[in-house]
Amino acid sequence: MSNWKVYSEGLIQDSADHETVVNNIQKLFKINRERALQLVSNSRKLIKVCSSESEANKYLAAADKIGFVASIDAPPSSKEGLSLASVEAQDNPSNDVGTNTTSNHSINLKPNRMQCPKCDKEQEKKSTCTFCGIFIDKYIPQQPVNIDDSHGANINPTDPLDIILNNKLISIVLLLISFFIATHYLASPTADEIGSTPMARANIASLEHALQLPSIKKEELRQLLASGNFSALEKRLGHMIENMNTDIQWEYPLMNTLYAISSENGIRNSYLNSWVSSTNSALSYLARAYFNHNEGWRARGSESAVKTSKEQMKNLSTYHTRAMKDFQHAKSKNKYLLPIYTGLISIARSQSSIDVLSTLNEATELFPAGYSFRNQYGKYILPQWFGSDAMLDAFSDKVEPYIDLNPRLSNILGLKDAEKGRKAFARENDSRCIRMHNNALSYGITALSLYRRSYCLMMDGQYESAIIDANLSLKIEHHKHVIQVKQYSEHKIR
């Protein structure tokens, strides 16, 4: 009997209400609230082992209907039946899996294959043979070129004209072979090893440290806000901010907590209004500012500008106008809150009244090692927004002297290549996407660059490398599209 396993990915859908989803899970699976919460707690959990694909699909459809993200692990015998219609990459300006385009890539179910010119073994297209180990591009040109003239005129090797013609034919064949190698092998680059440069290794070490620091989990954050336990919340946030004075990597859990203040995590604007009314503190204004910041980007959506409606743009502006007022209130009470500057630079893409450069300079003076506000400024000056490649180069030069203070800043140096990789990704130019993200990842890693390179590696049939990138991306941020890439690649190599 085949076992089709249905898993919860621990996530609710973007448009779903957290409380409604939890209640529906309780009803659907006839479980208590505690167990229902476990299914949306940002970790993968087995829901059901089914005896058929159709049964598993019923559970998948039910999960989709009530608003949480589920997936299927097919048995090994069924791996060829797996298909993935499309994968979308959302660039959310709030984090590393964030600009505003959505790319649809149809996956070709016939992988790129080749036959080794030496041992004749069929295999996935690579630069070396999996079976005999030869380097394909070095081996092919060394092979003798046999010109079969049995069906043509007899060539007399002693005739000078025939010798010239024969040599020309050999040259043409060699030229064709060289062209074949260039188009079929050199055009399909492999993934550079993660951490292959000293700068990248320092960047990864800093990120690994940051990932170990405790943030406030989404469910706990919602409960503290809903119950009005604002003193406990301010204590936790204050602890992170204080720790940043001695360890800048505390910026990571602090920003993750603020980015989680949104309606998609069951948080209501009324909770933030109560916090402001109760305490009138800088942190309460900061939190409400991030609620409106996050809601604004969600209201806009992830499509390109030409595919975004006037209503969406109006909602973006409305939310960000509210956010700007609260950021300014928070700053008037305590200008030593780094997230204020990150938020202001982020919403400057919809609020033209914000002096972005002055905000950046002020933040840099107060927080020389800060990453998040520089990352937002880097996105602000991307060519697709308000900048250019020249501006990115100039900004990278200014950031470089600060990298010793915070190795995560090296990601800024890779922004230009990452943007080129994004464009290649959107145009389904998988080879260029891989090359550009190789360059970007040589400076440091982000979940988004890893996801895009993983996807393009999968499209190129390099499934093992795609899985490595997907796993690393998921360690940084849990995202359903990365899970899809990983699952598809795993099924293709079983």
- Choose from 146-160, 358-372, 373-387 the range with maximum mean pLDDT: 358-372
User: Could you tell me which residue, 306 or 198, shows the higher pLDDT?
Assistant: 198
Point out which residues pair with 70 in neighbouring strands.
8
- CA-CA distance, 295 to 143, in Å (whole number)? 62
Per-domain boundaries in the chain? 4-81, 113-186, 198-493
By the 10 Å C-beta count (0-12 exposed, 13-18 middle, 19+ buried), 334 is classed as middle
Give yes or no for residue 447 having a pLDDT over 70: yes
The beta strands (E) that lie in 28-89 are given as 45-50, 68-73
Residue 281 is which amino acid? S
pTM of the model: 0.66
- What does CATH list as the number for 4-81? 3.30.1390
Q: Which two tokens stand for residue 467?
A: 């899985």
> What is the token pair recorded at 201?
């290794």
Q: How far apart are CA 206 and CA 208, in angstroms?
A: 5
Kindly state the average pLDDT of the residues 304-332: 92
What pLDDT digit, counting tens, does each position of 235-278 carry? Answer: 999 999 999 999 999 999 999 999 999 999 999 999 999 999 99
Report the C-alpha gap between 34 and 140 in whole angstroms. Answer: 62
List Cβ neighbours of 400 (8 Å cut-off, separation of 6 or more).
413
Give yes or no for residue 492 having a pLDDT over 60.
yes
Q: Give me the chain's average pLDDT, please.
A: 81
Does residue 57 or residue 80 have the better pLDDT? 57
